[in-house]
Amino acid sequence: MPRTPPIDVKRRKRTQTVAIETRNASQIQYLESYSPPLSASSALRSVCTLTEYLAGRGDEIAQLLSAFELLQLWIQLQVLKVEDGNNFGVEVQKYTYMHLKESHEKWQKTWDSLAEYCSARATAMEKLNMKASSKSSA
């Protein structure tokens, strides 16, 4: 039976570290060399894609919130009555319910922040349009 050669752990870690550093350096170089297009048509396309993206994420978050609510209701309906002795299942259900409730609250804040972001963006766009129209009329 042939013996397998011993693995040089230090050499292996060094090559992994070098590979990670090389990958990170190439990503940094790409980001530093990237310059976004400044034409009006590309800006309009980016606004459209951003609007589509936000609408899609909003739908996904709404579905997620609905699923959380259904799970919370199902867990509440499945809670066993507390009896003497082994109450481990009740504690697991309580822990799961609390975790779902916390997650639901976090995603609800995310949902609310989407509306706030869109409102702030609309206000900023109105201000930009007012400045552009006042310059063109002057």
Predicted local distance difference test score (pLDDT) of residue 39: 46
Assess if residue 43 is contained within a domain. Answer: no
Q: What is the pTM of this model?
A: 0.51
Assess if residue 18 is contained within a domain. Answer: no
Summarised one tens digit per residue, pLDDT across range 61-105 is: 888 889 989 998 888 888 777 666 667 777 888 888 899 999 999
Max avg pLDDT among 5-9, 15-19, 79-83: 79-83
pLDDT band at 35 (very low <50, low <70, confident <90, very high): very low
- Domain of 63 in residue numbering reads as 54-138
Pick the more confident residue, 111 or 50. Answer: 111
Q: Which of 90, 89, 92, 96 is CA-nearest to residue 73?
A: 96
CATH of residue 62's domain is 1.20.120.180
Q: How many distinct structural domains can be found in the chain?
A: 1
- Average pLDDT over the chain, rounded to an integer: 71
Assess if residue 102 is contained within a domain. Answer: yes
94: Cβ contacts below 8 Å, ≥ 6 apart: 79
In this structure, which amino acid lies at residue 19?
A
8 phi and psi angles, rounded to 5 deg: -85, 100
Assess if residue 103 is contained within a domain. Answer: yes
Assess if residue 30 is contained within a domain. Answer: no
Summarised one tens digit per residue, pLDDT across range 44-56 is: 456 667 777 777 8
Indicate if the pLDDT at residue 38 is higher than 50.
no
